[in-house]
Every structure is written in structure tokens, then in C-alpha cells.
Chains A and B, each alone.
Chain A
Amino acid sequence: MEEKKDQAYFRKLANQLMFDLSDEEANAIVKEFEVLTKQLELLDAVDTEGVEEMIYPFEEDTFFLRKDEVTHVISQEDALVNVKDKIEGHFVLPKVVK
């Protein structure tokens, strides 16, 4: 059964992506989704039977693998330079409940 693509649906989806939507924003997505649905008909009009997905612009195989040597380490200070709250060289969060 297909879920109804309403405000509540997209808000739930947004929450899975760890953000919220205002009513207005959720409404805008409902509208955009209608446009997208129409646009999808344009995609469907292209016959892709037997066509492989194009994942990368170039599809020559590569051979490079990185040698297992330490090339670049940063200091603890640098690691934490972008956060305010730190304890004994750790990043800090409210207790994470598993």
C-alpha cells in the first residue's frame, strides 16, 4: 500500500534525516513532489531496458591503491578546534542512550 505523500509523510522523512520542517516548508515539498511526479514521466519516457546505470563519468578501471604508510595525522588540538565542549581530548555529547 502506497503511503499518502502529504505534509506528515515528508515531515517524517525529514525527521529521519535529522531535521524538522515548518508547515510552510512541508507544504512546499508536497507541491514540489507533484512537479517531480510529472517530471518522472519524462524519465519514464526514456527506454532504459538493458541499460547499465552510469555511476561515474568515466568507466575505465583504476588500479591505484594507497600504500599502508602513515601520511597525515593531525594534533588533538586541531581535531577539537571546531568544538567548544571537550573533556580530556574527547568530543562531548549528552549521554547517548543505546
Chain B
Amino acid sequence: MNYIVTIGIEIHCELKTVTKMFSGAPCSFGRKANTCVNEIDLGHPGTMPCVNQEAVAKAIQACTALHLEIDPLVKFDRKNYYYSDLPKGFQITQQFHPIGRNGYVTIHVDGESKKIRINRIHMEEDTAKQFHLSTKTLLDYNRAGTPLIEIVSEPDMQSGAEAQAYAEAIRQTLYYIGVSDVKMEEGSMRCDVNVSLRPEGSDVYGTKNEIKNLNSISNIGKAIDFEVERQKKILESGGVIEQETRRYDDKTGETILMRKKEGNVDYKFFPEPNIFPIRLDAEWIKDIQDHMPELPEERMARYQETYHLNDHDIHILIANKEMCQFFEDAMQTSSNAKGIVNWLLGDVSGWLNKNNASIETCNLKPEALVKLVKMIDEGKISSAQAKELVEDLMAGKDPEESAKEKGLAQVSDAGALEALVQSVLEENPQAIEDFRAGKDRAVGFLVGQVMKKSKGQANPGLVSQMMQEKLKQYQ
């Protein structure tokens, strides 16, 4: 039997704010334990929440980028449960009135575009971090109270690849507009995936399982592919899917049972009495929306239009915001977009990968790359010669100087080349015969001989041009 796979994803992202969602203590990553807190984050008696304006602004940006309608009346609710990492014994969230509703993001899988609907985005606060030792658990409240948005998709995805593309599209969008670091490995973006199967033809959703602990985008696809197969096997052998929470083990590539869900947990949601509804100023919202950073899809269109780059290059470039920035800085003074992109995605990226470095922290400056590409374009050095300069270039050296040091220069002097061309023709009468017999290869051969004679320093374009000219007399 064939099965229809249904996937919904909940994504939590930490917002990049200076202070916490409800307190004026700083947000931090990797600071000394319990040094970025105040009494509010520790849930001390008598403390009260105070909403961070920037967190609301960032949530509005996220909603706008993902096409959600914004509710200008901000309200919060309590989600009540007891856990060691939850200081107040409740989390302040937006259960009943999320800040954003009904959006979408467009994904591209196998050359097809598909809109994945987003049900809601709401604001809430993060929990404390736990470190599990052999017999003890240590608690650090630095993370407690960090602003989060939760993005809840509709169950619109049907494969691991689609889910992966969705998570990547969300990640890229939030990263572009700068509202979150979206680092899955550091936990600033976390994905929970719900997967269910139903037989083709049935319109009743199957029992869903939730997969947690997905610490990379690629693991989302792998975990779902595994989970789909696992559920399929159970269904095909006449079994029943139980409602479970599972986690993905990236060593074995399997999903593992964490706990069975016994009914729904009752979180006893109710409106947070300490925060009156907050009416957002329409002008303020509009101002945020009018000053949105460029979104990935907008940038793609612009690169196509302005620089005429091909789709493949654009997709790779767009995925790296810093690389884009470098590219755009270079294009301030360069007129060869294609040349710059080829270098960035080719030798520069290769070098960065090999050295585990990044474009924004390496020593390469846009001006240097512009100069290098220009030297090639002007025939001062050949592309082959330029490759010898990569190490120097990445070390921050001026390409002109290092070309000089290495003695790399193209012979473009017409007189010198004329002599070389003449002597090659004289030495290769057979090639001239071949040319006269209509064998085009002969031209390439003769040019190659000139290059060889010049020890690679002759300007190949110029040589080719001169050779064509000379051979005309033999036609």
C-alpha cells in the first residue's frame, strides 16, 4: 500500500536582543554561569515581567518576512508546568493571541516551488540550561528568559526533503533579516518535527510522532526519512502507531523513543494577569516593515537583474550572507560580476573550506579581489597564473605586488609576440599544411607552441588573434 506522509514543524528561534524577553538582564551565550541574570530570570518571589520592545520589533520583522498578519494588540498567557529548568513554574507565552498568523514560505525542491503555510508565530521565553554530570545536574539561568519566537507550520510537507527545505528557508530568512543567529548546533534554532502516515485515499490523519533534538538541517531530512520507513513497516505488518516523542541519534541515523504520550498534558493556559494588553503603534509597525532588511528572495531577483548571474551561482551565493556582502562591496568598483563570483565560489571558497575560515574574518579584502580580476581581464596575467597567487591573495597581499615578486606577467608586447609567432610558423610547416586542408585544430596547436616557447607568459588571447591573422595569407 502507498502512504501519504504528513509533516508539520515547530521551530524555536532565540531573538538577537541585548536583554531578556521580560527582564533588563543581558542575553548571552558562553558567559560564566549565572552572571547574566537578575531576580526576574531566577523566578524570585514578587518579580514581574516587563516586555522588551526590541523582541517585539524582531518578532514583527520575522512575521513580515514570512508574510504573516500582525495582531497589533499584544497579549501574553501562562503555560503552567513544573520542571527544573523553568524558574517560575510557568512560561510566559502567547497561547491565545499570537503576534502573527497565516503566513507562508516558498521552498524549492527538485526544481519545483511549493508554498508551505505558516499557522502562527508567537513570542515566549527560553528556559535555563542544564548540564548533566554523572550523578548531578547543574543549572545555569543565563539562558532563562531569552526571547524566543516559535514558528508553527501547517502540516504541508510530505517528505524529508521538503521539511529540510522548509527549515532551511526559515533559517535563511531569519538569518537574513538578522533577528536570530539561527545556529542549530548552539541551540539558537531548534526544530521539532511531527510526522504521520496515512494510507492513500484516506482523509484521516494518522497518529503523529514528534521528533526532537534535531541539531542540523540535514538531520531533519535524515530523521524524517528514517521515521517514515519505521512507521511504514509498523503499518504494513498490521501494527498501530503509538503517539510518541522520539529523538534523532545522528550516530546511528535512527529515531529513538524518549517517552510515550499519555493523552495531552494540560498546561492550564490562562492570560498573564501582570501584563495588560499592549496596543502597538501602527506607525511603529509600519516603520519596521518599511525598513526591512532585504529578504533572500528579493536579493535573488536583484542579482539576476543587476548582475545577470545564473541561478546556480545565485543560490550558492545567497546562502552565505557574508559572502554576499563581500560580493556587493567588490561590485562597488568592479565591472565583472561573473569574474568576481567565479573567484568567490571557486578558489576563495576552496581556500576558506580548506583552512576552516570564513570570508568575514579572513584577510582578503574586496579591493584585492577586484584588482586580481581586473589584471586577468586586462591580460596582465593569465587565469592560470592567477591561480598561483591564491595563497598570497588570501594572506592579504596586493595581487600586483605578489605577481611581480613571482615574476608572473603576461607578454602582451606585440613586437615580442610577433617574433615568437613567426618562428613557430617557420618551425611547423606541417601544421600550416593541416590548416590549409581545413583542420581547425592546427590553430590551437600553433598557439600552444607559442605559449610553450614563452614559458606560459604570452597573452594567449593576443597570440591567438595574431596567429589567425598570420594564417590568413595561407588560405
A and B touch in the complex (CB under 8 A): yes
Name A residues whose Cβ lies closer than 8 Å to a Cβ of B: 17-18, 55-56, 58-76, 79-80, 87-96, 98
A63 to B275, CA, bound (A): 11
Given A79-B42, A92-B136, A95-B136, A72–B84 Cβ distance below 8 Å? no
Q: Is the CB of A93 within 8 A of B136?
A: yes
Query: With an 8 A cutoff between CB atoms, is B445 at the interface?
Result: no
A93 / chain B contacts, CB cutoff of 8 Å? 84, 136-139
Closest residue of chain A to B135 (Cβ to Cβ) is: A95
Q: Is the CB of A68 within 8 A of B37?
A: no
Q: Is the CB of B276 within 8 A of A61?
A: yes
A56 / chain B contacts, CB cutoff of 8 Å? 273, 276
A98 / chain B contacts, CB cutoff of 8 Å? 258
B23 / chain A contacts, CB cutoff of 8 Å? 72
Query: With an 8 A cutoff between CB atoms, is B29 at the interface?
Result: no
A56 to B76, CA, bound (A): 13
Q: Is the CB of A92 within 8 A of B138?
A: yes
Q: Is the CB of B137 within 8 A of A58?
A: no
Chain B contacts with A in 15-73, Cβ cutoff 8 A: 17-19, 23-26, 32-39, 42, 50-56, 73
Name B residues whose Cβ lies closer than 8 Å to a Cβ of A: 17-19, 23-26, 32-39, 42, 50-56, 73, 82, 84, 130-141, 258, 271, 273, 276-279, 281
A65 to B57, CA, bound (A): 10
Nearest Cβ distance between residue A27 and chain B, in whole angstroms?
Answer: 25
Set A61, A69, A92: member contacting B277, Cβ < 8 A: A61
Interface of B is mostly: loop
A79 / chain B contacts, CB cutoff of 8 Å? 34-35, 37, 42, 141
Q: Is the CB of A55 within 8 A of B271?
A: yes
B258 / chain A contacts, CB cutoff of 8 Å? 98
Q: Is the CB of A64 within 8 A of B19?
A: no
Q: With A70-B24, A70-B25, A89-B33 given, can you name 9 additional A-B contacts, CB distance below 8 Å?
A: A61-B73, A61-B279, A63-B279, A71-B24, A88-B138, A89-B34, A90-B34, A93-B138, A95-B134
A88 to B34, CA, bound (A): 10
Nearest Cβ distance between residue A88 and chain B, in whole angstroms?
Answer: 7
Nearest Cβ distance between residue A53 and chain B, in whole angstroms?
Answer: 8
Nearest Cβ distance between residue A95 and chain B, in whole angstroms?
Answer: 5
Closest residue of chain B to A90 (Cβ to Cβ) is: B138
Please list 6 pairs of residues, one from A and one from B, whose beta carbons are closer than 8 Å in the complex, sorted by A's number. Answer: A17-B82, A74-B37, A90-B33, A90-B139, A95-B134, A95-B135
Nearest Cβ distance between residue A59 and chain B, in whole angstroms?
Answer: 8
Nearest Cβ distance between residue A58 and chain B, in whole angstroms?
Answer: 7
A92 / chain B contacts, CB cutoff of 8 Å? 136-139
A89 / chain B contacts, CB cutoff of 8 Å? 32-35, 140
Given A62-B279, A70-B19, A87–B138 Cβ distance below 8 Å? yes
A64 to B136, CA, bound (A): 42
Q: Is the CB of B37 within 8 A of A91?
A: no
Instruction: List the 9 closest pairs (A to B, CB-CB), nearest first.
Output: A71-B24, A68-B54, A65-B53, A90-B138, A61-B279, A91-B139, A89-B33, A96-B137, A79-B34
A72 / chain B contacts, CB cutoff of 8 Å? 23-25, 38
A90 / chain B contacts, CB cutoff of 8 Å? 33-34, 131, 138-140
Nearest Cβ distance between residue A77 and chain B, in whole angstroms?
Answer: 9
B132 / chain A contacts, CB cutoff of 8 Å? 95-96
A17 to B258, CA, bound (A): 23
A69 to B34, CA, bound (A): 19
Given A76-B34, A94-B136, A68–B276 Cβ distance below 8 Å? no
A63 to B74, CA, bound (A): 10
Closest residue of chain B to A58 (Cβ to Cβ) is: B276
A55 / chain B contacts, CB cutoff of 8 Å? 271, 273
A89 to B37, CA, bound (A): 12
Closest residue of chain A to B54 (Cβ to Cβ) is: A68
B34 / chain A contacts, CB cutoff of 8 Å? 76, 79-80, 89-91
Nearest Cβ distance between residue B95 and chain A, in whole angstroms?
Answer: 13
A58 to B162, CA, bound (A): 47
Nearest Cβ distance between residue A20 and chain B, in whole angstroms?
Answer: 14
A67 to B17, CA, bound (A): 11
